[in-house]
Structure 1
């Protein structure tokens, strides 16, 4: 395919008109970029409102909710950029400084993805992400460097990271052509971790580069007790293990996630009287197969 622009910025809108418009307002349009909004079957026709308000962008309205991966994949298929920035609609830029991220990608054929620094949009903008630690081979847990810390420049050195952060990641199109689109079997949560593992197995590096900062409105307590979140977190942890872990570690992870984590959650939600969440845990256990 003939690339007609250098950068494609793709974001998903799902009943989030205000946030999506604020993100677009923070992006200075240039002739070598395109902005694509995928409306993931919002209840109202927010796609038409966005298209009318921003004549320079491309709006795609899906007739059904394709999930995080499916929505991004739809945007990728319709994009033309050499580099693709997948970014959450509840983020914004104070200083749109994507050029250093592109330079990082161009610095080596081995680098497939680069992520900016993420800071929360509330308070004094504490750090959300400055790279990840590796996942535990048994508990499937990891940590984001700097999470919750004030930003004093202590994470201002670029470095490789095992996984990309789904809120903002810049990707080479030729790398996507090689490894394939984001796995849609997850729908919500863990798909960027799985995709990162696919990139790594294909020989690509993933980098964190603080030359660009993105601000994220996500709250630390968003949807913690949602049946939808409980279901997908339970299901997708198991699915991630099924798709990526091997040998004894796979079965030890199953034992840990089912025997300890799921059992703990079921007991906790039962004592809280949250039987809707108990049901979500059981659903997640019994439906994690692809």
Structure 2
């Protein structure tokens, strides 16, 4: 098996990260893996104690929160593998997971990225992800295949192409990163892996899912279901993704769709849910896109308050 670098990012979740590392040790051959943990500006630095507890892990630390893409990209300088497995720290692996993903990349050189099937950790029979449909660039919407379905093996017949990988667990070919570049850090949170898929596809690679590989995801450990952080970046980056990747006509139609349908609908929903505090963040997300270029590194959010 080619050497794999397993990369995960920690932000104020030391116990979650430890559970992830324990699941790797219990289910994978550590001799065949390089494991890298990036502490992404956590308030308490647990790296010194982790070095003693997990001597087989490479630890890195940023003193500031670099976001999802920035934290993962920081590990690229240390990663030695032909294949890089970017995986959320709020996941737990199953036996043979890495080998099954590696087999896809070994057997199919055209594949640039592959994700496993994902189930919910707290409801382990429910599917979170079994692939994505293609993006509708007019609305910036697509569908997650199998979402909330009981897993009865209905998607396990064969690996194959899918619209997008899932950012919680994605194995990427090093040569695909070299051709397409790393994740765009100015997304900070949300849509960066979808944008990455588009760039890797334009570089000539395919995006696959291997549904016979399985991982469990502890959804929303980091952010929560509703927060200013989530609402701001979901809306800001939805617009940014279209600006970067959609054809010209689709950009025009999307802009009308977002302004005339999405914005009033969101405002009504915030009010009905007694979350009117989120309304300013929706308009801040829109304003950011009006005044910033697509490669601006200004997040527009007070990151030091996260």
Alignment of 1:152 onto 2:152: yes
Superposition deviation, residue 248 in structure 1: 1.2
Give the 3-state SS of the residue equivalent to 1:24 in structure 2. helix
Cα contact 1:101–1:211 (8 A) shared by 2? no
CA distance 1:11–1:212, change in 2 (3 Å) = same
Superposition deviation, residue 124 in structure 1: 3.8
Q: Structure 2-normalised TM-score?
A: 0.89
Name the structure 2 match of 1:234: 235
Runs of 4+ aligned residues of structure 1 deviating over 4 Å after TM superposition are 219-222
Superposition deviation, residue 143 in structure 1: 1.1
CA distance 1:219–1:165, change in 2 (3 Å) = same
Cα-to-partner distance string for 1:256-281 (whole Å, 9 max, x where unaligned): 11221122212332454433201110
1:216-231 aligned within 5 A: 216-219=217-220, 223-231=224-232
Name the structure 1 match of 2:286: 285
Superposition deviation, residue 149 in structure 1: 0.8
Cα-to-partner distance string for 1:18-43 (whole Å, 9 max, x where unaligned): 11111111113432321000000001
Q: Mark the runs of 5 or more structure 2 residues left unpaired by the alignment.
A: 295-306
Cα contact 2:137–2:242 (8 A) shared by 1? no
Name the structure 2 match of 1:184: 185
Superposition deviation, residue 50 in structure 1: 2.3
Indicate the larger mover: 273-282 or 208-217.
273-282
State the distance in 2 between where 1:116 and 1:271 align.
37
Name the structure 2 match of 1:9: 6
Name the structure 2 match of 1:112: 112
Give the 3-state SS of the residue equivalent to 1:189 in structure 2. coil
The count of aligned residue pairs is 286
Superposition deviation, residue 220 in structure 1: 10
CA RMSD of aligned residues (A): 1.7
Q: Mark the runs of 5 or more structure 1 residues left unpaired by the alignment.
A: none
